[in-house]
Amino acid sequence: MDYRVSPGGQFSGRLRVAGDKSISHRSVMLGALADGVTHVTGLLEGEDVLCTLAAFRAMGVQAMGPEQGRLTIQGVGLHGLRPPAQPLDMGNSGTAMRLMSGILAGQNFDSVLIGDESLSKRPMKRVSEPLGLMGARIDTNEGGRPPLRVKGGQPLHGIEYKMPMASAQVKSALLLAGLYADGETVVTEPAPTRDHTERMLRGFGYAVNTDGATIRLRGGGQLIACDIDVPADISSATFFLVGAAIAPGSELVLEHVGMNPTRVGVINILKLMGADLSMENAREVGGEPVADLRIRGSQLKGIRIPEDQVPLAIDEFPALFIAAACATGETVLTGAHELRVKESDRIAVMATGLKRLGIDAQETSDGMVIHGGRLQGGDVDSHGDHRIAMSFAIAALAASGPITIHDCRNVATSFPEFPELARTAGLKLEVVES
């Protein structure tokens, strides 16, 4: 599947983008492990989340939906899962595979986690090794790659673990395994990462203590079913924020966007670049802060991106690279080596694509240096990475010619409504079966 996008246009109107993927995954997981019935609204119905739901159904969890973002989950309790008959397919989702490894490490049955071609190349030792310190037995393929073969019936014990790198997925896997461990599980982060797992555990009635960079919980508790309203995904909103910022005359309002303080790096970075961006109607829904975001077209300026913002915006950098390409002056990103091991090597793939569109973009080992200029038309390859496909699509708003993006099918994993919403907002996008 390819995207063909004609140049120019503006973003305008009011939109609510898809539900937050991170929160959607966790609502399915904790709802399945809770006692009672959990009702979810605003669920992201992308392929990644549907893979997570299918995995729990394969382990005996009953669920009605999803339909128009509504899902009802009949929880089985922490110890009520049943052995799956086949390997559990996590599709394209690193979040699902890493978090599920923590849950499955505490079960009394064996299980296998598999994924698509892209996920099968992603590193999993960062989660299998610390889980091993807790007593889990998880075998991987060469280089720590999937499939993950999880041996059941292993007694887990709490550990104190100082994470060598900031990763919400690793932190969450350890905390979820900690639900099944004897004693206390203590995780210390080197830098703040998204805290959806901690917030949602508390929402399900489980005691979690956060003291600065250290998170603690004790095993042996219980999750109590609750209702969850999933905010709009700030990562999905980012494509529209950047698109409006780079297109003169744009004015767009994005409604009910999750404003978790561990996820707002993109807001902070765009403001540092001079974006005309404001928050309205700030409120809290189900323990998560949300707000409406108003963005107008403006002339952005290049900056040196503060490294303390990198973990808070790690998934948003493909779109931010487009903002940098349209800014005056030089933008420098450092401290983002994690981008090398996402669904693609996002540093290499974005640099290559930007060069094809006439932008001076130079890779570094842990980031990129981008000299802003005028985007030209051309063909780019997303390498099957959903965020790269959507980033180059919105780049056409500021381009001098049409842009064709190849290999866009995986947009359905995180944001299946993107083409329709983008056209509604003003993007001249055509979806072509290649």
Residue 286 has pLDDT above 80, yes or no: no
Domain boundary among 229, 262, 289: 229
The owner of tokens 């923590």 is 102
Residue 336 has pLDDT above 80, yes or no: yes
Assign 129 a pLDDT band (cuts: 50, 70, 90). very high
Tokens for 7, please give them: 């140049």
Q: Could you give the count of Cα atoms lying within 13 Å of 183 in the half-sphere of its Cβ? A: 10
Q: What average pLDDT does range 299-319 have in this prediction?
A: 96
Q: Are residues 79 and 188 in the same domain?
A: yes
User: Catalytic residues, which ones?
Assistant: 315
Assign 160 a pLDDT band (cuts: 50, 70, 90). very high
What pLDDT is stored for residue 285 in this prediction? 83
What pLDDT is stored for residue 397 in this prediction? 98
**Total structural domains in the chain?**
2
Q: Are residues 216 and 73 in the same domain?
A: yes
Q: Are 228 and 196 in contact (CB under 8 A)?
A: no
Tokens for 212, please give them: 């600065």
Assign 287 a pLDDT band (cuts: 50, 70, 90). confident
Q: Are residues 192 and 300 in the same domain?
A: no
Domain boundary among 200, 229, 258: 229
Q: Are residues 343 and 237 in the same domain?
A: yes
Q: Are residues 123 and 87 in the same domain?
A: yes
The runs of H, that is alpha helices, within 314-378 are: 317-326, 346-356
Q: Are residues 250 and 219 in the same domain?
A: no
| 365 phi/psi in degrees, rounded to 5 | -60, -35
Q: Could you give the count of Cα atoms lying within 13 Å of 147 in the half-sphere of its Cβ? A: 11
What pLDDT is stored for residue 102 in this prediction? 98
Assign 99 a pLDDT band (cuts: 50, 70, 90). very high
Q: Are residues 10 and 50 in the same domain?
A: no
Q: What average pLDDT does range 221-226 have in this prediction?
A: 97
Q: Are residues 327 and 187 in the same domain?
A: no
Q: What average pLDDT does range 373-399 have in this prediction?
A: 97
Q: Are residues 51 and 193 in the same domain?
A: yes
Q: Are 4 and 402 in contact (CB under 8 A)?
A: yes
Regarding pTM above 0.85, the answer is: yes
What pLDDT is stored for residue 392 in this prediction? 98
Assign 419 a pLDDT band (cuts: 50, 70, 90). very high
Tally Cβ neighbours within 10 Å of residue 139: 11
Q: What is the DSSP letter of 307?
A: G
Nearest-CA neighbor of 318 among 267, 394, 252?
394
Q: Are residues 147 and 8 in the same domain?
A: no
Assign 211 a pLDDT band (cuts: 50, 70, 90). very high
Q: Are residues 175 and 220 in the same domain?
A: yes
Mean pLDDT score of the chain:
96
Q: Are 55 and 82 in contact (CB under 8 A)?
A: no
Residue 420 has pLDDT above 90, yes or no: yes
Residue 434 has pLDDT above 80, yes or no: no
Domain boundary among 202, 229, 256: 229
- Between CA 132 and CA 251 the distance in angstroms is 50
- Between CA 42 and CA 250 the distance in angstroms is 27
Residue 294 has pLDDT above 80, yes or no: yes
What pLDDT is stored for residue 360 in this prediction? 98
Q: Are residues 218 and 253 in the same domain?
A: no
CATH number of the domain bearing residue 52: 3.65.10.10
Q: Domain of 332?
A: 2-19+231-432
Assign 393 a pLDDT band (cuts: 50, 70, 90). very high
Tokens for 278, please give them: 């404001």
